[in-house]
Amino acid sequence: MDLEYSAGHQAFRDEVREFLKGWPLKGDEAKRPQEEQEQIFRKRGIEAGYVYRAVPKQYGGSEQPSDAIKDRIIIEEFYAAGAPRDLMSQGAGLMVPTILEFGTEEQKERWIPPALTGEENWCQGYSEPGSGSDLASLQCQARLDGDEWVLNGQKIWTSSAQRAHMMFGLFRSEPDAKKHEGITYLLVPMDAKGIEVRPLREMGGGYEFNEVFFDDVRVPVSNTVGVRGQGWQISRATLVHERNLIGNPNMMREAFSDLLDLARSRTLNGRPANEDAGVRRRLAEIEGYVQTSQLSNMRQFTASNKGKMLEVMRPMMMNKVAGTDTMQMIMKCAYDLLGGDGVIAPTEDELDTWGRKTTSSGWVLQYIFSMGPSIAGGASNIQRNIIGERGYGLPRDLRRTS
Amino acid sequence: MDFGLSEEQEMLQETIRGFAQNECPTTRLRELFDEGEGHDPALWSALAEMGIAGLIVPEEHGGAGMEILDLALVAEVLGEFAIPGPFLGHSLAIRGVMLAASAAQQANLLPDLASGEMIATVALQEADAAWAPESWTARVRDGRLTGEKTIVSHAALADRILVGLDGGGLAWVDAKGQGVVIEDLGGIDRTRPVYKVRFEGAPAEVLEGGSGNAWQLVETAAVLLAADAFGSATKLIDLDVAYAMEREQFGQPIAQFQAIKHTVARIGTDIEPARALFWYAAHCQDAIEAEAGRAASVAKAHITDRAMNAARESVELHGGYGFTWECEVQMWFKRIMLDRSLLGTPDQWRERTAVMGEY
Ligand SMILES: Cc1cc2nc3c(=O)[nH]c(=O)nc-3n(C[C@H](O)[C@H](O)[C@H](O)COP(=O)(O)OP(=O)(O)OC[C@H]3O[C@@H](n4cnc5c(N)ncnc54)[C@H](O)[C@@H]3O)c2cc1C
């Protein structure tokens, strides 16, 4: 065990820090809209070799030799500087790795570059009204007609569909095949004729997810990813990326540090809340979970670097549910610290900024939002099934076969 | 950057695991548990033979010259097999000597301790849960020790006792000498019996290294207790899984019930990732001093707390059988009770976390 970085990696960290002095932007650049500033800086990050390192240059990435420790340093430093790096969007975070692995050359050239810059937004069309945890039971239909797929049916809970240019989704192409075998992975332009997006209002008050209806929507066959009927297997690969996005320990550490600041700024029984014995214990208990997640992540990181991935399969399976439970603990504690202010609803502005935690109603929104990740991307009960069955070898649930 | 065990460390754990499987299988453990001595001379000398008694003692004094991380890895496996014996107190006494004794004192004391022929323990905690060094009141005046310590493990077995003093100093006392009165407290963990020890002017040698090391010693104790609780909890999960597969109700193994499967998943998710927590806390004592206090606090509080919860769940998972003396679960349940309560409860270590983290 040695937590020191090698001289080479230490020098690399210094280099990254030097680069990060360029954020926030200065002078005239700083006067541009926030989104543009982020794009400018991200582009510089790509040129410097810090952003989209695993994506080949020809598709807009920086194509760096794989070095997990450098990746980690970059993430840590960019995170600390609050600087824009790889987009964590559905497009860059989920579609791109999938296409890189399973897509055709044309698909990579066409879809990856604009997804990396964020010029084209993507949404994920998996869930349906009748198919959530049991995703493989999905019914949204794709019927081949010449060189086009014809889509009919409905998707639901589709986040950011209202802004998306494209959807990657799962469709039933072989109605007679077995449940997991008749599914095809398709790329669908959201402006195609016959698509209708209807917003759903979330409990927080905003409109982030949607219903998407398909009425004889035509999509070229060239938009099929991988082999027809193999969509399920391909989607499993995407899911790994999604769970990694959710179980991010940097996010947890940041949220915990915000929570400490909140405790310092609130008053309890006439004294600063952070001096209250009960509050301090509760915070320290949460720190136990936060540190555990972070250190377990480091252990997994080292093990996979050494090619000993098999030794950390169990803790890897636990990342998602442990991470979302810890985030919920943080938000529950924050909520109690708000006292009476916890009943004030978030403003429109806070809904737009996802409740950045500077105001009490911003925290209220976070308190509500923290439940989402426990449901999305495989609900906690499903995670516990995976841990019990694959982690500890317990029998699978009895289920009616279809 | 390498947050993993070395091959030597993995081998160390495998060696002790193999030894424990052969020399202290559950049948033998059960005998020792019922006898209640918390000690088996043959087991201890075999462990000493393997270098466990003097694991962290420098080679020049006859030890294996290993680190606190190695010590914690051993503690994990001893917890996993609930091995009876004086490992905890003995290792801590050595740690105390290494932290606070002068070079001459070390040269004098360590070789006998390293071989395991001389057994030592530590007496730190006092009545009313006074476990933090600031609250110790035992004192040495003119070479004579007076005071009372409690929850001292293996005091009746030990040859020497390292005693925590007012102001954070440490003194070395002959446990069999005059002025030392030892009373069996009837401890719940029969693999590690505990005693009250009264010092009535016992001759004592104060370690010369000063009084700044008491917290470091207590933090090492916290890490070893956390590691022991971690090992114990992993054993309980194994027992849970085996029982759930074997026990049938409603015409099927109870493992088939999702509530049972999720119980295992929940306690597994509490315990398994926390392996990294005690690794880190131990490693900080070896290499990252600035973080050592906070890391030890978090490890002791979090792991012993979660392990205790896992133990309670394990009893329930075993049904009526789980409630019996016969069921194996109780042995680890009680081992974790000691790990949790000795030298500061989770709540107390959480307050210390808050202090160290400048909340
Ligand atoms: C914020 C948010 C964003 C989302 N974004 C998207 C998106 O962009 N694209 C997309 O396709 N989907 C999205 N989803 C949908 C999400 O993937 C589903 O909600 C999720 O898979 C659960 O499906 P469901 O809602 O049908 O719940 P159900 O499957 O009906 O589950 C209901 C409850 O039953 C439990 N349950 C179900 N099966 C079992 C079982 N076998 N054992 C034990 N318990 C079980 C679940 O744990 C849950 O508590 C999003 C969801 C949320 C909350």
The DSSP-derived string for A283-324 is: HHHHHHHHHHHHHHHHHHHHHHHTT-GGGGHHHHHHHHHHHH
Structural domain total, chain A? 3
pTM (two decimals): 0.96
Which residue among A242, A275, A287, A350 is the active-site one? A242
Query: Chain B: nearest CA to A124, how far in angstroms?
Result: 29
What is the C-alpha to C-alpha distance for residues A277 and A265, in angstroms, rounded to an integer? 16
B244–A contact, CB cutoff 8 A: yes
What stretches of A21-65 show up as alpha helix (H) in DSSP? 34-48
The mean pLDDT value for B33-50 works out to 95
What's the confidence (pLDDT) of residue A238?
A: 72
Q: Which residue of B has its CA nearest to A393?
A: B241
Mark whether A277 and A351 lie in a shared domain: yes
- Looking up tokens 């002068």 gives B102
What does CATH list as the number for B120-206?
Answer: 2.40.110.10
Taking only the tens place, the pLDDT of each residue in B296-327 is 999 999 999 999 999 999 999 999 999 999 99
pLDDT band at A401 (very low <50, low <70, confident <90, very high): low
What's the confidence (pLDDT) of residue B1?
A: 85
Task: Tell me: pLDDT of A402 over 60.
Answer: no
In this complex, do A299 and B253 lie within 8 Å of one another by their Cβ atoms? no
- Contact assessment for residue A243 and residue A318, using Cβ atoms and an 8 Å cutoff: no
What is the C-alpha to C-alpha distance for residues A300 and A323, in angstroms, rounded to an integer? 15
- For residue A76, which of A323, A295, A300, A250 has the smallest C-alpha distance? A250
Residues 6+ positions from B339 with CB-CB distance below 8 Å: B79, B225, B226, B228, B229, B232, B304, B307
Position A240 in a domain? no
Domain covering B214-356, topology? Butyryl-CoA Dehydrogenase, subunit A; domain 3 (1.20.140)
Task: Tell me: pLDDT of B287 over 90.
Answer: yes
The dihedral built from the CA positions of residue A324, A327, A333 and A338, taken in this order, carries a sign that is negative
Task: Tell me: pLDDT of A246 over 70.
Answer: no
The mean pLDDT value for A301-320 works out to 91
Residues 6+ positions from B97 with CB-CB distance below 8 Å: B105, B106, B109, B110, B113, B162, B172, B207
Q: Which amino acid is at B76?
A: E
What's the confidence (pLDDT) of residue A367?
A: 95
What's the confidence (pLDDT) of residue A352?
A: 78
Taking only the tens place, the pLDDT of each residue in B232-272 is 999 999 999 999 999 999 999 999 999 999 999 999 999 99
What's the confidence (pLDDT) of residue B211?
A: 73
Portion 237-276 of A in contact with B at CB < 8 A: 260, 263-264, 274
The mean pLDDT value for A271-299 works out to 96
Task: Tell me: pLDDT of A269 over 80.
Answer: yes
In this complex, do B301 and A298 lie within 8 Å of one another by their Cβ atoms? no
State what percent of residues in chain A have pLDDT above 70.
97
Q: How many A-B residue pairs are in contact by the CB < 8 A criterion?
A: 162
What's A275's DSSP letter? G
Mark whether A49 and A150 lie in a shared domain: no
What's the confidence (pLDDT) of residue B221?
A: 98
Position A95 in a domain? no
The mean pLDDT value for A6-30 works out to 96
Task: Tell me: pLDDT of A247 over 70.
Answer: no
Portion 50-69 of B in contact with A at CB < 8 A: 69
- For residue A160, which of A133, A200, A195, A188 has the smallest C-alpha distance? A200
Residue A359 CB: number of other CB atoms within 10 A?
17
Task: Tell me: pLDDT of B157 over 70.
Answer: yes
Q: Assess if CATH 3.30.70.1230 describes domain B7-115.
A: no
Portion 61-90 of A in contact with B at CB < 8 A: 69, 72
> Is A383 a pocket residue for ligand 1 (Cβ < 6 Å)?
no
pLDDT band at A354 (very low <50, low <70, confident <90, very high): confident
Please calculate the CA angle B195-B215-B276 and round it to the nearest 5 degrees: 95
Residues 6+ positions from B146 with CB-CB distance below 8 Å: B138, B139, B199, B200, B201
Position A110 in a domain? no
Q: How far is the CA of B60 from the centre of ligand 1 (A)?
A: 62
The mean pLDDT value for B111-133 works out to 96
CA distances from B151 to B120, B303, B341 (A): 15, 20, 10
State what percent of residues in chain A have pLDDT above 90.
84
Q: How far is the CA of A155 from the centre of ligand 1 (A)?
A: 13
Mark whether A258 and A356 lie in a shared domain: yes
pLDDT band at A243 (very low <50, low <70, confident <90, very high): low
What's the confidence (pLDDT) of residue A251?
A: 85
Mark whether A134 and A224 lie in a shared domain: yes
Looking at the DSSP bridge assignments, the partners of residue B149 are B197
Q: Measuring from atom 50 of ligand 1, which residue has the nearest CA?
A: A376
Q: Which residue of B has its CA nearest to A273?
A: B359
pLDDT band at B168 (very low <50, low <70, confident <90, very high): very high
Is A254 an annotated catalytic residue?
Answer: no
- For residue B229, which of B154, B172, B281 has the smallest C-alpha distance? B281
Average pLDDT of the residues of chain B: 97
What's the confidence (pLDDT) of residue A353?
A: 75
What is the C-alpha to C-alpha distance for residues B195 and B186, in angstroms, rounded to an integer? 8
Domain boundary among A229, A262, A277: A229
**Residues of chain B contacting A387 with CB distance shorter than 8 Å:** 264-265, 268-269
What is the C-alpha to C-alpha distance for residues B230 and B304, in angstroms, rounded to an integer? 7
What's the confidence (pLDDT) of residue A348?
A: 85
Mark whether A206 and A74 lie in a shared domain: no
Residues 6+ positions from B186 with CB-CB distance below 8 Å: none
Domain that holds residue A147: 122-229
Residue ranges of chain B that CATH labels 1.10.540.10: 7-115
Rounded (to 5) percent helix, strand, coil in chain B: 60, 15, 30
| Token pair of A145 as six digits | 């007609």
Rounded (to 5) percent helix, strand, coil in chain A: 55, 15, 30
